[in-house]
Structure 1
Amino acid sequence: MCQHQPPCPSADSADREAAHPVAHHPEQGWSLLCNGVVLFDDTGELLPDGQIIAPHKPLDTHEVTTAA
């Protein structure tokens, strides 16, 4: 599927999220990578074979500090 040189990681490799996006829909919260993985903004993934990968990275949180 990937035409990049060097080729992007396959959907079953540990670094699959490093593949190039071919469709990006931030308003809907997902991107399609060239290896067929659908990557969601919450870091969940849907693999081409239908396997679901649960969110696995902490989301950026903004700490609020107050003056004492």
Structure 2
Amino acid sequence: MCQHQPACPSADSADREAAHPMVSRPEQGWSLLCNGVVLFEDTGELLPDGQIIAPHRPLRADQVAAAA
């Protein structure tokens, strides 16, 4: 799908979220990246093969301190 130079990371790459957004629907909370990944605002993902990636938000400083 990607026609950028250099090409964006593929959907199966660890850095797939770095691909360029092709469609963005912030009012609905999602973006379609050029590698076919649907990225949700909660950091969850839907890959082109139908695989679901659970949200993976980073912890806030107060959450890190509480876990220690």
TM range (shorter): 0.7 to 0.9
| Contiguous gaps of at least 5 residues in structure 1 | 61-68
Matched, 1:51 2:51: yes
Matching residue of 2:24? 24
> Aligned partners of 2:45 and 2:12: how far apart in 1?
12
If the length of structure 2 is used for normalisation, what is the TM-score?
0.84
Pairwise CA RMSD of aligned residues?
1.3
User: Based on CA coordinates, which of the two structures has the bigger radius of gyration?
Assistant: 1
Count of aligned positions:
60
> Aligned partners of 2:27 and 2:58: how far apart in 1?
20
Runs of 4+ in 1 over 4 A off after TM superposition: none
If the length of structure 1 is used for normalisation, what is the TM-score?
0.84
Bigger drift between 24-33 and 50-59 goes to 50-59
> Aligned partners of 2:26 and 2:49: how far apart in 1?
23
| Contiguous gaps of at least 5 residues in structure 2 | 61-68
